[in-house]
């Protein structure tokens, strides 16, 4: 019992420290006019493909950069670098999520220039990232048609901490017999009124709506 209590105390302290760091970064971002978007998802949801297409779309009109979290490789950062915007990798080692202090350290001595948008791609995980504020303005949750319509019911906490749900890989929906209505109902059961956008990074369908939503949210700040 004492061991369990100690673990709870340590976790509580870690989360409080994270919240302090996140608040400081949020103040810094807003002072600098940077709109920050964090992206959470399970592995294989198409997160990197989605972010790459988003960066390419925005780069003509906005100053944009991305931080990419991964346990051990720099593959995603190398791929995103093709977008032509500044990209930096954060290797987390055994930690299955990004923390505010990791983001803060990654931003140190990174000469990305003035920014309008900063995207933070979290480690593929729908459990750990739910508890960690990264100082973002918008938390986006991505889940694909290949993951099943009941994903929100299995991971309600992460859906409750997100601002928008994007259903990805819609080009595969028919092939995997994905029930869009059931998926929408699952999301609304967990988070009533949540914004939902369906899209395909491969075909581009739905991307215009996402970009319009994103710009509108930035203009609200």
Cα–Cα distance measured from residue 158 to residue 129, given in angstroms and rounded to the nearest whole number: 8
Looking only at the bridges linking them, the beta strands covering 138-144 and 164-168 are parallel
Helix (H/G/I), strand (E/B), else coil: 118 = strand
pLDDT tier at 186 (50, 70, 90 boundaries)? very high
Cα–Cα distance measured from residue 24 to residue 10, given in angstroms and rounded to the nearest whole number: 22
User: What per-residue confidence (pLDDT) applies to 30?
Assistant: 94
Percent of residues, the chain, with pLDDT higher than 70:
95
User: What per-residue confidence (pLDDT) applies to 3?
Assistant: 53
Helices 47-58 and 207-220: crossing angle in degrees, nearest 10, is 70
Query: What is the value of pTM for the model shown?
Result: 0.92
Helix (H/G/I), strand (E/B), else coil: 203 = coil
Q: Lowest-pLDDT range, 7-11, 89-93, 198-202?
A: 7-11
Question: What are the sequence ranges of the domains in the chain?
Answer: 2-220
* CATH, domain range 2-220: 3.40.50.300
Retrieve residue 102's tokens.
Answer: 């990791």
Average pLDDT, integer, range 143-157: 95
Q: In this predicted model, what pLDDT tens digit does every residue of 79-133 receive, in sequence order? A: 888 899 999 999 888 788 899 999 999 999 898 989 999 999 998 889 988 889 9
């Amino acid at each position: 019992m004492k061991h369990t209590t100690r673990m709870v105390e340590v976790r509580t302290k870690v989360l409080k420290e994270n919240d302090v760091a996140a608040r400081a970064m949020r103040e810094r971002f807003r002072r600098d006019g940077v709109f920050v978007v964090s992206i959470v998802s399970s592995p294989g949801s198409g997160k990197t493909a989605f972010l790459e297409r988003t960066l390419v779309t925005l780069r003509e009109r906005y100053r944009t950069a991305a931080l990419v979290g991964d346990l051990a490789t720099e593959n995603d950062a190398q791929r995103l670098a093709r977008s032509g915007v500044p990209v930096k990798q954060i290797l987390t080692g055994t930690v299955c999520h990004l923390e505010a202090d990791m983001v803060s350290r990654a931003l140190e001595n990174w000469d990305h220039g003035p920014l309008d948008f900063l995207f933070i791609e979290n480690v593929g995980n729908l459990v750990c990232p739910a508890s960690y504020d990264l100082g973002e303005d918008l938390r986006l949750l991505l889940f694909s048609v290949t993951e099943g319509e009941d994903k929100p019911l299995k991971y309600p906490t992460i859906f409750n901490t997100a601002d928008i749900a994007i259903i990805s890989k819609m080009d595969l929906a028919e092939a995997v017999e994905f029930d869009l209505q059931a998926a929408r109902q699952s999301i609304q059961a967990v988070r009533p009124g949540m914004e939902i956008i369906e899209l395909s990074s491969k075909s581009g369908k739905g991307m215009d709506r996402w970009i319009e939503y994103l710009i509108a949210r930035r203009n609200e700040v």
